[in-house]
Amino acid sequence: MDNVLHKLRKLDAYPKINEDFYSRTFSGGLITLVSFIVIFLLFLSELRLYLHTVSESKLVVDTSRGETLHINFDVTFPAVPCSLLSLDAMDISGEQHLDIRHDIFKKRIDAHSNVIEVRQDGIGAPKIEKPLQKHGGRLEHNEKYCGSCFGAETSDDDCCNSCEEVRDAYRKKGWALTNMDLIDQCKREGYIRKIKDEEGEGCNIHGSLEVNKVAGNFHFALGKSFHQSNVRVHDLLALEKDIYNISHRINKLAFGNYFPGLVNPLDGVQWVPETPNGLYQYFIKVVPTKYTDIRGRTVQSNQYSVTEHFRGAEPGYSPPVPGVFFIYDISPIKVTLKEEHATFLHFMTHICAIIGGIFTVAGIIDSFIYHGQRAIKKTM
């Protein structure tokens, strides 16, 4: 047993020195104190990094198929009345959604951005007695109402009982209403009067869209879209003016749900045109993103980058449809973000490196000062 203990003593890498050979100095004590302070500060720094999470990012090919893209938006047009503003969406697959109203809300605002009225998209239709019937006469007692579509019927059984239904029938035919005052439904509902009452107002439009996860666009334009000779045009409600102010502020635009660290570059962006009329376009690159927090919960969302372009009226060319277009494309690369803690072994390795490094450097400095002091004493 004594032989084993003797061999272990020979393996001691830290031989002890008799205290009689110690020489303690003021400079050594000062360096030791400073060393402990530095070690303590570095320890706190490492502890803070260990307790906080870090995000690890990776790029992978997006192999998902058949998914949809959820778009949340909140846009304010200070000089466009709500009655003139419509929302359309279309994609490269050929799917189109014109004059979207589902999950869309509008706020009428005055020149000082005060809210006048909040409503879901669409103008109500107050009923009055004896509206014009399809056969040309007025509604009689106990007679079922069936309004005329004014030539836009697709069959003999079609009825247009509101101004909106007449406009929809015309839009399906690819026709534009030239004088809405002659349409009985629009006249009795006060449609034109309501639009004129909103002159000088602005509109805040917000809501959400669910679209195919393919390249496409959605846009806010004046009037309603319809197709005429395979060309998409807008019905400006027969209230055409020479100047349309499409200045706008994007309060929010997000492609998917929020996750920590997400930055949407168009949030809070405001644009005021230097010239009237024109078409403002945002070209957006959507990057699919998967975020996993420290508890393993996953959020499927998207990030995006954007460039902007304004297209004004050019001499010799027909003026562009006034509006704001968001043209998006989907990146084939997916970003995965995962929150992680530094491992405890990693933390301990850093702490040992700090303690060993500080004491080694402090020992070199102390030795240099000690030998310098001895050399000065010998020369005196």
Binned at pLDDT 50, 70 and 90, residue 157 comes out as confident
Q: Which residues share a beta bridge with 236? A: none
Give the pLDDT confidence score for residue 209 in this predicted structure: 93
- DSSP tag of 295: T
Higher pLDDT among residues 188 and 94, named by residue: 94
Q: Looking at residue 180, what DSSP letter applies?
A: G
Predicted confidence at residue 131, as pLDDT, reads 66
With a CB cutoff of 8 Å and minimum separation 6, the contacts of 140 are: none
Q: Which two tokens stand for residue 37?
A: 């302070």
d(CA 223, CA 101): 14
Q: Assess whether pLDDT exceeds 80 at residue 53.
A: no
Q: CA-CA distance, 113 to 189, in Å (whole number)?
A: 28
User: How do beta strands 54-61 and 333-340 pair?
Assistant: antiparallel
| φ, ψ (nearest 5 deg) of residue 38 | -65, -45
Band (103; pLDDT cuts 50, 70, 90): confident
CA 320 – CA 316 distance, rounded (Å)? 12
Please give the Cα distance from 141 to 76 (Å, whole number): 46
Cα separation, 94 vs 216, in Å, equals 9
Q: Could you read off the pLDDT of 288-317 as tens digits, one per residue?
A: 999 998 888 999 999 999 999 988 777 666
pLDDT class for 14, splitting at 50, 70, 90?
A: low
Q: Strand 333-340 to strand 85-91: parallel, antiparallel, or no bridges (unpaired)? A: unpaired
pLDDT at position 127 over 50: no
* Residue 64 burial (10 A CB sphere; 0-12, 13-18, 19+): exposed
Greatest mean pLDDT among 8-17, 211-220, 290-299 lies in 211-220
Find how far residue 243's CA is from the centre of its chain.
30
pLDDT in tens, 349-376: 988 999 889 888 888 887 888 777 777 7
